[in-house]
Amino acid sequence: MYPVKYHKATSIADATAALSGGEDATLLAGGQTLLATMKQHLADPSDLVDIRSIDGMNGVTVAGDVLTIGAATTHADVAENADVQKLCPALADLASHIGDPAVRNVGTIGGSIANNDPAADYPAAMLALSATIVTNTREIAADDYFEGLFDTALEDGEIITAVKVTSPSKAAYAKFAQQASLFALVGVFVADGAGGIRVAVTGAGEDGVFRQSDMEAALASGWSDTALDGVTASEDGIMSDLHGSADYRAHLIKVMAKRAVAAA
Amino acid sequence: MSTGIGAPVKRKEDKRFTTGKGNYTDDIRKENQAYAAFVRSPHAHAKVKGIDASAALAMDGVIEVLDGHQLTGDGIGNIICGWAVNSKDGSPMNMGAWSALATEKVRYVGDAVAVVIAETQALARIAAEAVEVDYEILPVIAHVMNAMADGAPQIHENAPGNQIYDWELGDEAATDAGLASAAHITSIDLTNNRLSPNPMEPRSAIATYDDAEEHYTLYTTSQNPHVARLVLSAFYNVAPENKLRVIAPDVGGGFGAKIYIYPEEITCLWASMKTNRSVKWTSDRAEAFITDAHGRDHVTTAKMGFDANNKIVGFKVDTVANLGAYMSLFSSSVPTYLYAPLLSGQYDIQNIHCNVRTYYTNTVPVDAYRGAGRPEATYLVERMMETAARELGMDPAELRRINFIQSFPHQTPVLMAYDAGDFPKILDMAQGSADVAGFAARKAEAATRGKLRGLGYSTFIEACGLAPSKAAGSLGAGVGLWESAEVRVNPVGSIEILTGSHSHGQGHETTFAQIVADRFDIPIEGVSIVHGDTDKVQFGMGTYGSRSAPVGMSAVVKAMDKVEAKVKKIAAHTLEASEDDIVIEGGQVKVAGTDKAMAWHEVGLAAYIAHNLPDGMEPGLKETAFFDPVNFSFPSGAFICEVEVDPDTGEVEIIQFTSADDFGTIINPLIVEGQVHGGVTQGIGQAMLEQVIYDDDGQLLTGSYMDYTMPRAADVPSYNVSHHEGSPSPNNPLGVKGCGEAGAIGSPPAVINAITDAIGNNDLAMPATPQAVWRALQAAKPVAAE
């Protein structure tokens, strides 16, 4: 690891100041991608601004049927939170299958969404649940937030503080893990919720998470796994790499979508 | 509870390992310690036109930057392969020059060209990045089947066409004749996938030079510190052996990868002299993937012929093996003498011929990895048997049975003289404990859940206990493969065993103590094992090839024979009895049938006080022995794997894995089971998960655990393990055969045979990832008899 300055921010203002004060400062949440990248000398930030201790960044609050999850809430805490389990059990289940126990106890929801890894689990949930990404300056609809591989609508210096999720009437996530990394080779989150019936796919898209609209249309005519029988996931825009070629991933999208619908 | 032979004694060493008290190389801190970081080639093949270290040398805290011209200029020798294998035309193998730091050319991504010595590890690594190397990029051979092509780039000047040797074993004409007579011939093409060894502890070295004494000390992660010292001294000219101490302290797994002497250890020793600092280097995981010798990497085509009674009449094998960019220490022996002699398997085959051609490629050197040649042979033979049975419409177990060797000794046509075994018995055991009879019902039940259930066998033999020195020498080995031991009875009766074997996870501190406690009937707490230090222990050959029990323990037994004889002489003299009447039991040395006795420790005391010894007897109670085996040992096993395949995704679940092993006498069943669990898990890793992949430019695509899949606990079942002890090895005093590699050798074909049974398609390569299985399912068609 290259030398780096560490700041433990106590407030959003403090974090913002530290971010703008460093030559090439970056935010640190769980660090489960960033720190590994730094150890391999593939990232060289001048400053790390740790936002996990800022008031309000941790934990889950409920208002009516809306969950507000602090950006620095770990995957393990999301998985075990009673309100999440009650209002959106699919999200708790998703969190309980991210990486391994060590990752789940340090990695955070905000960090995952800010990184927007094309194989991360949370982006599929955010998109399918029509979630809202809350930052220090505004609220962004998930539909407007995910812009491509590791690319989001966040401006420089903008800090995710929470995500808001409305309890869906039905939802489930089915993941087929890449065997080495345990990231999603294909993950499909299906929901009948605030944004209507949605099918969001992670792990497979060349541009990151995306909605599978023909499956959504098929489900709109009746929520059942057999409703998807006639739908074929296209290979266009599907990733090919050493873990899975586009045709296999496209095939898995349908298999996982059906399993998720059946489980929801 | 007994602590002798056969007792499930808990491992003595585990308290320190499980409480963080182990002392590994990277735990060692020397005063005046500096850190090494290597400047490595990012290119798979390139000329080195110049090195500019000025920016690195200007950094505060950088002590020195050293390159290959300085290294060779100081007389440090090239790294050698210690096993000479000749081509079938009699010409010697084409060993290319390998300098610890490359001078003219780099030949794989990771090849070291310079080393930075700095005050901290972090600084050394940053400075290494600041060393500018001017490369002229050359065309690359990343895959072995491209090495032999016309116009392929030339990797070493003295290896035309990149071939290292073209070797054969067996009678080709007789084999062709056997195949010509066959009623049925089964042909298969196989790739044995390339693996990265991944011991839990990465390699590490810390070298100290004492300029007053002109003496070097090297702590390193070695399976064989004496061999390391020999090679460092005799071939690399680091220092005479008496001026070089090599210590392998606690070592966290080896699997073969820590047999060899690598550029890093050589460079640390030399750099410690150049800088007069202790120099430490510890690999990180990324560096391990591009520097630890890889394993396997064969491409094979083979034919097996059967007569009208389904007896094998000929087996012809053609193998191409990848040895990587340079010839590592034992690389030449792995695809030859550790491979082809195992092609007879458990079967009575009169005609076998094997041709092996090896090539250089622009990849990490390839050498022995758990099993070393024998997994490759077993995978071929056992997939062949299963495939042939399907083609012949036979029960695969029955085809094996009618071809089993039934009597011993048995001379195969490929060098090996099997000494003992009972192949039908262990197959019976495995079939019984796997409930093969109930498989059809289980398969039908799985089908109701939409799952495809399959069952696969592997009945295998391996040659362990490397090796009779004279035979090894006649086959080209540069060393003898005996082992040494010293049994030192202290004046208080406690015992130290100094062994040339080395434990890096095997539990020698427990098992070696057990054979001593058993022999002298004393508490195991009174026995300590000393190993891994060339200053403490007499020359020994180290641990690999499942040799520590059959060879290392046999040396201990020979030394104990001498101790026992002396103990009996002292006791007979003291107790005024005949030596023949003396017995050792219950902590006493007694005159049988009387109440005359000495306590065990009183004999030790008598030997050292020496007030009253028989005339002419030397004082002391310490004996040394060297054991040179007269034959290999031949562990065998019958493995049965049962799987369920999810046809929607290609995902495979191993429902049950059954092993019935013949390891001969078992010293500690707990440790043996652990070895089976670990070995089978590594075999499942090879069969379903692991594969080193290079792109066409020779860049390693599987350079971290994000892309290289190691088996996890959830990937393997709870194992169903049993042992047959009724056919002990007749060629060593304990009747042991070795158990360290059997699991890794025998399991891959059992797994693949089970999956191919489930999906109805034999065309499936390792690793059988979900994608590969799904694709094979899409292509599946019924396997028809020829």
The gap between the terminal CA atoms of chain A, to the nearest Å, is: 44
Count of domains for chain B: 3
Average pLDDT over residues A107-131: 98
B552: helix, strand or coil = helix
Nearest Cα residue in chain B from A182: B706
Average pLDDT over residues B273-278: 98
The residue among B87, B212, B100 whose CA lies nearest residue B160 is B87
Overall CATH class of domain A5-50: alpha beta
Q: Does B58 touch chain A (CB under 8 A)?
A: no
Average pLDDT score, chain B: 97
d(CA B190, CA B674): 30
Ranges of beta strands (E only) in B289-339 are: 298-306, 312-322
In a domain, B691, yes or no: yes
Q: pLDDT class for B759, splitting at 50, 70, 90?
A: very high
The residue among B117, B123, B128, B100 whose CA lies nearest residue B42 is B128
Q: Is the pLDDT of residue B785 over 70?
A: no
Instruction: Read off the tokens for B382.
Output: 């056992």
d(CA A69, CA A110): 9
Looking at residue B687, the DSSP 8-state letter turns out to be I
Q: Does B771 touch chain A (CB under 8 A)?
A: yes
| Residues of chain A contacting B125 with CB distance shorter than 8 Å | 41
Q: Are residues B460 and B600 in the same domain?
A: no
Mutate to test the interface with B, among A39, A248, A255 (most CBs of B within 10 A): A248
Q: Is the pLDDT of residue B335 over 50?
A: yes
Alpha-carbon Rg for chain B, nearest whole angstrom, is: 27
Average pLDDT over residues B197-207: 97
| Residue from the list B125, B651, B706 with its beta carbon closest to the beta carbon of A180 | B706
φ, ψ (nearest 5 deg) of residue B162: 65, 10
In a domain, B158, yes or no: no
The residue among B324, B273, B298, B289 whose CA lies nearest residue B95 is B324
In a domain, B486, yes or no: yes
Instruction: Read off the tokens for B617.
Output: 């007897």
Listing DSSP states for A47-80 in one string gives EEEE-TTSTTSSSEEEETTEEEEETT-BHHHHHH
Q: Does A40 touch chain B (CB under 8 A)?
A: yes
Domains in chain A: boundaries = 5-50, 60-166, 170-263
Interface contact A242-B693, CB threshold 8 A: yes
Average pLDDT over residues B272-283: 98
Q: pLDDT, tens digit, for every residue of B665-709?
A: 999 999 999 999 999 999 999 999 999 999 999 999 999 999 999
Q: Calculate the alpha carbon distances from B532 to A98, B25, B498 in Å.
A: 42, 12, 9
Burial class (CB in 10 A: 0-12, 13-18, 19+), A24: exposed
Q: Are residues B414 and B552 in the same domain?
A: no
Q: Does A42 touch chain B (CB under 8 A)?
A: no
d(CA B186, CA B190): 13
Instruction: Read off the tokens for A219.
Output: 């489900």
Q: Are residues B416 and B517 in the same domain?
A: no
Q: Are residues B747 and B637 in the same domain?
A: yes
| Residues of chain B contacting A179 with CB distance shorter than 8 Å | 689, 709, 769-770
Q: Does B215 touch chain A (CB under 8 A)?
A: no
In a domain, B337, yes or no: yes
Give the dihedral sign, CA B294/B662/B485/B609: positive
Task: Please give the torsion angle defined by the CA atoms of residues A172, A176, A179 and A185, in that order, rounded to the nearest 10 degrees.
Answer: -110
Q: pLDDT, tens digit, for every residue of A5-38?
A: 999 999 999 999 999 999 999 999 999 999 999 9
| Residue from the list B129, B651, B706 with its beta carbon closest to the beta carbon of A181 | B706
Residue B1's pLDDT is: 62
Q: Are residues B273 and B368 in the same domain?
A: no
Q: Are residues B682 and B570 in the same domain?
A: no
In a domain, B536, yes or no: yes
Indicate the residue among B627, B658, B686 that finishes a domain: B627
Place of tokens 């022999």: B519
Q: Calculate the alpha carbon distances from B178 to B171, B183, B401, B734 in Å.
A: 11, 10, 20, 40
Q: Does B778 touch chain A (CB under 8 A)?
A: no
Residue A12's pLDDT is: 97
Q: pLDDT, tens digit, for every residue of B26-43?
A: 999 999 999 999 999 999
Q: Does A245 touch chain B (CB under 8 A)?
A: yes
Residue B2's pLDDT is: 87
Q: Is the pLDDT of residue A182 over 60?
A: yes
Residue B783's pLDDT is: 44
Mutate to test the interface with A, among B290, B691, B706 (most CBs of A within 10 A): B706
Q: Is the pLDDT of residue A70 over 90?
A: yes
Looking at residue B262, the DSSP 8-state letter turns out to be P
Q: Are residues B660 and B764 in the same domain?
A: yes
Interface contact B705-A181, CB threshold 8 A: yes
In a domain, B147, yes or no: no
Indicate the residue among B593, B627, B661 that finishes a domain: B627
d(CA A262, CA A260): 5
Looking at residue B618, the DSSP 8-state letter turns out to be P
Give the dihedral sign, CA A38/A39/A41/A44: positive
Q: What percent of chain A has pLDDT over 90?
A: 100
| Residue from the list A2, A181, A248 with its beta carbon closest to the beta carbon of B126 | A2
Q: Is the pLDDT of residue A230 over 50?
A: yes
Overall CATH class of domain A60-166: alpha beta
Mutate to test the interface with B, among A35, A179, A240, A243 (most CBs of B within 10 A): A179
Interface contact B122-A1, CB threshold 8 A: yes
Q: Does B701 touch chain A (CB under 8 A)?
A: yes
| Residue from the list B125, B648, B709 with its beta carbon closest to the beta carbon of A179 | B709
| Residues of chain B contacting A244 with CB distance shorter than 8 Å | 771
Instruction: Read off the tokens for A101.
Output: 């126990």
Distance from CA of A207 to the nearest CA of B (A): 20
d(CA B173, CA B168): 12
Peptide bond into B782 cis (omega under 30): no
Assign a CATH topology to domain A170-263. Enolase-like; domain 1 (3.30.390)
Give the dihedral sign, CA A126/A127/A131/A133: positive
Is-contact A189 A130, C-beta < 8 A?
no
Interface contact B125-A244, CB threshold 8 A: no
Q: Is the pLDDT of residue B786 over 50?
A: no
Instruction: Read off the tokens for B562.
Output: 């001498």
In a domain, B156, yes or no: no
Q: What is the CATH number of the domain that holds B112?
A: 3.90.1170.50
Q: Are residues B455 and B603 in the same domain?
A: no
Strand partners, B694: B700
Interface contact A3-B648, CB threshold 8 A: no
Q: Are residues B549 and B640 in the same domain?
A: no
The residue among B290, B540, B261 whose CA lies nearest residue B269 is B261
Q: pLDDT class for B780, splitting at 50, 70, 90?
A: confident
d(CA B779, CA B786): 19
Q: pLDDT class for B781, splitting at 50, 70, 90?
A: low
d(CA B266, CA B205): 9
Instruction: Read off the tokens for B212.
Output: 């007053």
Q: Does B122 touch chain A (CB under 8 A)?
A: yes
Domain that holds residue B314: 298-466+631-778
Nearest Cα residue in chain B from A44: B126
d(CA B71, CA B62): 19
Is-contact B464 B737, C-beta < 8 A?
yes
Indicate the residue among B589, B609, B627 that finishes a domain: B627
Q: Are residues B371 and B241 in the same domain?
A: no
The gap between the terminal CA atoms of chain B, to the nearest Å, is: 59
Q: Are residues B268 and B346 in the same domain?
A: no
Q: Are residues B622 and B639 in the same domain?
A: no
- The continuous run of DSSP H or E covering B460 comes out as strand B452-461
Phi-psi region of B312 (alpha: psi -120 to 50; beta: other; left: phi over 0): beta
Residues 6+ apart with CB under 8 A from B570: B603, B606, B607, B613, B614, B617
pTM of the model as a whole: 0.97
d(CA B407, CA B415): 17
Average pLDDT over residues B300-327: 98
